[in-house]
A and B are shown apart, each in its own frame.
Chain A
């Protein structure tokens, strides 16, 4: 990251790549939520905590990318 500044033309592909990555993570979270709910309703509690931890990890990645994007815009 450093102090390198990007023009808008350079930032557009960055935000597009970010968008693709975030989209994949959100789809994974959706799958996690449905699978966990199904397991929980079926009486299986063992998967609940690991699934929540994985979902929090996905959120932190998404939030990190968003913060990186804001930093890029501030530097521009």
Chain B
């Protein structure tokens, strides 16, 4: 009479597939069902990846919330930066705009030509330094270069242009009137 063959799942299999009595003593003492082990590993990895997938969705929803908040934000009003006499041609001036701790830098390029950009480098937020003689903003942290007139990235790791601060001159006074982040 033939002995009943046990169910496949109940057999403990070694990684090399040889029968249990041919395995070394240590493996006979501590047998591991290798195929089951592999199956459980892969199944648990699928679970882990699904959890990672959920984390990415949470990140996307956070961006949606931030974007919604940004669109609802009241645009910063006009703010006086300086009078014309306070800044010479080729000179620059650091000011806070739109909020109190948002450093921006104003550069006077010609008699009636001004540009202003956020001073935060778009790479890792170091303060950029205007170099009007060379026509660039220089970020000393990682040697990033931005065009002085447009804020466009010229060299280095920054991924985006500098946000531009809109500037208007009225009655000898220079005003910041808004910020554009869509690139120059």
Query: Which A residues lie at the B interface, using CB under 8 A?
Result: 7-9, 11-12, 15-16, 18-19, 22-23, 25-26, 29-30, 32-33, 36-38, 40-45, 48-49, 51-52, 55-56, 58-59, 62-63, 65-66, 69, 73, 76
Contact = CB atoms under 8 A, between A and B. Distances in A.
A55 B56 contact: yes
B53 A11 contact: no
Given A12-B39, A19-B42, A62-B50, A51 B60 contact: yes
B20 interface: no
B46 A69 contact: yes
Chain A contact residues, majority secondary structure? helix
Given A45-B71, A48-B64, A38 B35 contact: no
Interface string B48-84: 0110111011011101101100110000000000000
Given A8-B36, A42-B159, A69-B43, 8 more contacts: A7-B8, A9-B35, A26-B53, A37-B63, A52-B57, A52-B63, A56-B60, A76-B9
A7 B71 CA distance: 55
